[in-house]
Amino acid sequence: MQRSPLVVFTALLTTLVALNIASAESTAEDHIKYRQALMESMAGHIEVLSYMAFNKIEKNEFYQSHADALASATAELEFLFPEGSGQGETEALPAIWENPDDFNTARLNAEQAFAALRDAVASGDSKAVVGAFAAAGKSCKGCHEDYREEHEH
């Protein structure tokens, strides 16, 4: 008896879903890779916004989406450093978990700075954008100096 392609596809899909559910537990390596991917995307959005902040490219309707993405990403930082995700190939320093209150303060500073950048971009005020961009950069630097291993750029 020949099975229809729909029956075969449904059986395959059901098996894949079952396997995915069975292996849904995150590992420290998963958290590290996710964190690194988010940080890399943030760097890209920051670079794009720098073109606007420093008048290298005329402002366009897409700048707001980059500012929104950065504000969302920094809000997500709260969940990017779970206990146990400091081992392996990561630049995250143990100070994150050794001084969680200090790290949380730095994280909140970044979240507020990028929310202010988002709002400045929405306002269209170029001076406000430059000031907010500088404050956001300072918040990144403050966190990276204390909580990220130094590396060459």
Model pTM above 0.85: no
How crowded is the C-beta side of 5, counted as CA atoms within 13 Å? 0
Q: Give percent of the chain above pLDDT 90.
A: 62
Kindly report, residue by residue over 44-86, the tens digit of the pLDDT.
999 998 987 788 888 778 899 999 999 999 999 999 999 989 9
pLDDT of residue 19: 52
Q: What domains sit in the chain, N to C, each tagged with a CATH number?
A: 27-147 (1.20.120.10)
- Sorted by sequence, the CB contacts under 8 Å of residue 143 that are 6+ apart come out as 103, 106, 107, 109, 110
Of 68, 75, 72, which is closest to residue 121 (Cα–Cα)?
68
CB 84 within 8 Å of CB 29: no
Per DSSP, the three-state class of 18 is: helix
Rounded distance between C-alpha atoms, residue 113 and residue 67, angstroms: 11
